[in-house]
Amino acid sequence: MSEARSGRRSRMDLLKARLAGAPMGPRMADARRNALVDAAEALFVGHGVEATTVDDIAARAGVAKGTFYHYFETKADLLDALRTRFSDEFQARVSAVVDACDAGDWNSRLTAWIATAVEAYFDMRALHDVVFHGAEMPLREAMGDVPVVLDLAALLAAGAAAGAWHVDDPRSVSVVMFHGLHGATDEAIVTGRDPGEIGALLARLFVRMIAA
């Protein structure tokens, strides 16, 4: 057997091994991937990332270990998927409430954004702590580049353009607001304070802060 033919066969064998656990069809593929992400979320939250093995995740998802490696190379890849899930669910929850407000009532829209973000963070804190407070995460990140903060900045910019309030630098102000929201919600979690109360307090404070 020629060296070239041997190389082709070796690559084909690797491909077959990688696809061995792959489900047929896009719907089944999505279902298997989601099952793995669901399993990882439950195990990471319940036992920690380090204590959870790939075998544990595959077993909980009801799939073969080879299926895990069809979708993810490492647990770190699963953490990335969970970060995306958290951010998407957080953003969807906030957007749904804001979109239900009158389009021209900017103070109500900002109040809804802040109050809902506090509630969402409070409700999703277990997953948040796993995917954003892990030892592998950087100590600092540019919050102004985070999609949910950019969404808040867009809201501030739109309200300022409509004359509802005065904001010179929406992106920087959104970072200040989000950090304040994050810290106040952490304080509420530790002290047992009601998140609804904190959300309302922050909303009043922020609306006054940027009042035209």
pLDDT at position 182: 92
CATH class of 79-209: mainly alpha
pLDDT at position 140: 53
pLDDT per residue over 43-59, tens digit each?
Answer: 999 998 889 999 999 99
pLDDT per residue over 48-103, tens digit each?
Answer: 888 999 999 999 999 999 999 999 999 989 999 999 999 999 999 999 999 999 99
pLDDT per residue over 193-204, tens digit each?
Answer: 999 999 999 999
DSSP-assigned letters across all residues of the chain? --HHHHHHHHHHHHHHHHHTTPPSSHHHHHHHHHHHHHHHHHHHHHH-TTT--HHHHHHHHTS-HHHHHHH-SSHHHHHHHHHHHHHHHHHHHHHHHHHTS-TT-HHHHHHHHHHHHHHHHHHTHHHHHHHHSSTTS-S---GGGSHHHHHHHHHHHHHHHTTSB--S-HHHHHHHHHHHHHHHHHHHHHHT--HHHHHHHHHHHHHHHTB-
CATH 1.10.10.60 maps onto the chain at 3-73
Please state which of the four CATH numbers 1.10.8.60, 2.30.30.110, 1.10.10.60, 1.20.120.530 is assigned to the domain occupying 3-73: 1.10.10.60
pLDDT at position 116: 96
pLDDT per residue over 116-165, tens digit each?
Answer: 999 999 999 999 988 887 655 554 566 778 899 999 999 999 999 999 99
pLDDT at position 146: 86
pLDDT at position 17: 44
CATH 1.10.357.10 maps onto the chain at 79-209
